[in-house]
Structure 1
Amino acid sequence: MKIILTGATGVLGSQIMYEILELFIKESIDGKLILISRSKKKRTALNRINNLLTSTYAPQFLKDIGTTKLDEYIEIVDTDLDSVKESFSNKIDGAYFIHSAGYVNLSTDEEHRDKIFEENTKITKFILNNFHHFIKKFIYIGTAFSSGERSGIVDNDFHNLGFVPKHRNAYENAKFHSEKFVAQRCKTLGLPYQILRPSVICGKMLSDENKYFISKYMVFYLLAKFFYFAAQRKTEQENVRFAINKKTGLNIIPVDYVAKVIVSVFRRDDIQQLNIVSHKSLNLVKGLELIMKEVGYNNYTIIEDTPDFEYQNTTEKLYYESIGKHLKPYLVSSAKQYNTSLLNSILEIPVLDDETFTQLIRYAKLHKFKDVEV
């Protein structure tokens, strides 16, 4: 079995890499994992991958086996994704292609729109158009938020809706556009495909080994990070107002669960689209309360959304001119839930309750919200 994986140094991609290697070893599969990665600063792609395999946060099972044995399963193509050469094609003949690399950016700024769209669509189109002759199946890792602004129950199929989803930012739109391209192109080619969509990814939860670890703090973690450091200032805490739809929530899913599901289903022919999500979204008002309590910022107010919002102090201004303006569209969104019956039949979905969410924030706080550089 041959598997190509992009994004292996990323938050999710690294966990997928670990799971694939465990699959090869535990099921005695004669496999080859081809990683398309690139050098970064003074670190080669090989250095970066080996650092991940020997990291404190790597699964102990793999560390016990050691990089000498693991390297027998791995082949690294050290290049940018849009620079992969035609000569690469003879290496990937008959391979499953898992495209996990992406440019996550929730910016609502117009000047970033084109870059976000290009980074998330151009590469996908390049890969599929250039290498579809050789691969066995194309697995695209999207996002559950490419569903856009929706309400009610959201099913797994995003492409036979009878309407075009309304997206909140360029990232959602780009991922949806990429999905649509993958589905249409693969159908035209007769190439099997899957679109797998995690919701907001949080730290690991499936075992006690490196529990709550995540290599990069994003989305709700960024809000916690902002107010954690704001609370450390010696000046008096200024009141910050949050416009929130009190009925809506944020769907959060552990990174190790997402990786296990992907590796469980990529060979299944009966699944073309799957949302990898929690049964229930965390209510945003409750989530904000838990975050602020844990980071020690107590001066905030929940308000109705208003078009004539003006900053009332420096902290509020700093928040809304940084991450706040990008998070706000999610805070005021309509309430929705996902249909998780198929997902739960594949692998039981872990429960993310108030205590677990607090532990995720506490772990991040203890590590000063510092991302792991690879």
Structure 2
Amino acid sequence: MKIILTGATGLLGSQIMYEILEFFINKKIDGKLIIFARNKGKNSASDRINELLSSSYTPKNIRDKGIKKLHEYLEIIDTDLALVQETVLNEITDAYFIHSAGFVNLSTDEEHREKIFDENTKITKALFGIFHPFIKKFIYIGTAFSSGNRKGMIDNDFHNLGFKPDHRNAYENAKFHSENFIAEECKKIGLPFQILRPSVIGGKMLSKENPYFISKYMVFYLLAKFFYVLSQRKGNQENIRFMINDDTVLNIIPVDYVAKVIVNSLDRDDIEQLNIVHDKSFNMTHGLQIIMKEVGYSNYTLVPNSEDFKYANSIEKMYYESIGKHLNPYFTTTANEYDTTVLKSILEIPKLDQDALTNMIRYAKLNNFKDINV
């Protein structure tokens, strides 16, 4: 069994790598995980992967195998994906291709739109063009938010909506275009494919080992980090007004659950599209209150969304001209939930309640919101 993985050094990609290796080892499969990665400064692609395989946050049963044993399952190709040689391609015939690499950027700034599109859609199209003649299935890791601003119950099919999605930013739009491209091109040539879409990714929850660990802090973690830093300043806290809808929700799913579902879905021929999401979203107001309490910032007010909103102080200006500008569309979006019937047939969804969200933020605080970069 051969599996190709892009993005193995990233937030989700590294967890997918661990899950594949565990799958090979535990099931005693004669497998090969082919990782395409680039060097970073003085660190080669192998150096970067080896660090992920031997660190304190590496799953113990993986780490205990040792680098030498793990490399029996690995082939690390140090190259830019756009420069892959044909001799390499001939060796990966009949492999599953998991495209996890991507550029997560929720910016609403027009000047970032082209870069976000290129780093997601343009690269995905190029990869498909290079690899599709050699692989047995193309698995694209998208985002549940490529459905755009929608209300009510959202099912797994984003390709037959009958309407154009109302995307909140260039990232959602780029991911939507990428997955549609993959679906259309694969259908043309009869190549099996899967579009797997996680919602907002949170810390690990499936194991007592390194609970709530996450390698990169994004989305709600960035909000927590912003106000945690402010709470550490001396002096009085200035009031911050959050524009928020009463019924808006935030869907969070643990990173290790996402990785396990992806690996467990590889052979499911009946799954072409799947949202990897929680079956119950957090009310955004409640989630915000949990986060602000945990980071120690108490001087805030919840107000309705308004086009006439004007900054009342320097904190509001700082927030809304940085991350607030990009997060606000999610604070004021239409309430929705996801149909998780198929997802639950693959793996039971872990309980993610107030305590779990609190513990995710506490873990981040203990680690000073410091990303792990390899």
TM-score tier, shorter chain, comes to: over 0.9
Which residue number in structure 2 is paired with residue 59 of structure 1? 59
Please state how far the C-alpha of 1:326 moved relative to its aligned partner. Answer: 0.3
Q: How many residues align?
A: 374
2:257 corresponds to: 257
- Report what 2:305 is aligned to: 305
- Measured on the aligned residues, the alpha-carbon RMSD in Å equals 0.7
Cα distance in 2 for residues equivalent to 1:300 and 1:83:
51
One-letter amino acid of the counterpart of residue 261, structure 1: V
Task: Please name the residue that 1:361 is paired with.
Answer: 361
Q: Distance in 2 between matches of 1:127 and 1:307?
A: 41
Q: Secondary structure at the match of 2:135?
A: coil
How do 1:31-42 and structure 2 match up within 5 A? Answer: 31-42=31-42
Question: Aligned partner of 1:245: which letter?
Answer: N
Query: Which runs of structure 2 are paired with 1:136-285 in the superposition (5 Å)?
Result: 136-285=136-285
What amino acid does structure 2 have at the position aligned with 1:328?
Answer: N
Is residue 82 of structure 2 the alignment partner of residue 82 of structure 1? Answer: yes
Q: CA deviation at 1:88?
A: 2.1
Displacement of 1:129:
1.2
Matched AA of 2:213: F
Gap regions ≥5 residues in structure 2: none
Partner deviation per Cα, 1:104-163 (whole Å, 9 max, x = no partner): 000000000000001001111111112211101000000000010100000000001111
Partners of 1:76 and 1:118 lie apart in 2 by 25
Instruction: State the distance in 2 between where 1:103 and 1:189 align.
Output: 28
Residue 290 (structure 2) aligns with:
290
In the TM superposition, residue 83 of structure 1 has moved relative to its aligned partner by 2.3
Find the residue that maps to 2:5 and give its secondary structure.
strand
CA distance in structure 1 between the aligned counterparts of 2:171 and 2:87, rounded to whole angstroms: 32
Q: State the secondary structure of the residue aligned to 1:65.
A: coil
Identity of matched residues, %: 68
TM-score (norm 1): 0.99
**Amino acid across the alignment from 2:80:** D
Aligned pairs for 1:4-83 (under 5 A) are: 4-83=4-83
Partner of 2:349: 349
Cα distance, 1:87 vs structure 2: 2.5
2:3 pairs with 1:3: yes
Task: Kindly provide the amino acid, as one letter, of the partner of residue 340 in structure 1.
Answer: T
Q: Distance in 2 between matches of 1:253 and 1:43?
A: 32
The DSSP-based 3-state class of the residue aligned with 1:5 is strand
Structure 1 counterpart of 2:127, one-letter code: I
Compute the TM-score of the two structures, normalised by the length of structure 2: 0.99
Matched residue type, 2:182? V
Structure-2 residue corresponding to 1:104? 104
2-structure distance, mates of 1:240, 1:107: 21
Give the Å deviation of 1:310.
1.0
Distance (Å, rounded) in 2 between the aligned partners of 1:118 and 1:195:
19
Deviation (angstroms), 1:63:
1.0
For 1:268 and 1:212, the matched residues in 2 are separated by 29
The reply on whether 1:129 has 2:120 as its aligned counterpart is no
Find the aligned partners of 1:284 and 1:161 in 2 and give their Cα distance: 26
Q: Distance in 2 between matches of 1:253 and 1:42?
A: 35
Distance 1:131 1:19 in 2: 23
Q: What is the CA deviation profile of residues 34-70 of structure 1, one whole-angstrom value per residue up to 9, with x for unaligned ones? A: 0001111111100000000001001100111111000
More deviation in 343-352 or 86-95?
A: 86-95
CA distance in 1, matches of 2:178, 2:352: 30
Following TM superposition, the consecutive aligned residue runs of length 4 or more in structure 1 with deviations greater than 6 angstroms are none
Structure-2 separation of matches of 1:202 and 1:12: 10
Cα distance between partner residues in 2 of 1:177 and 1:261? 23
Q: Which moved more, 1:260-269 or 1:85-94?
A: 85-94
Q: Which runs of 5+ in 1 are unaligned?
A: none
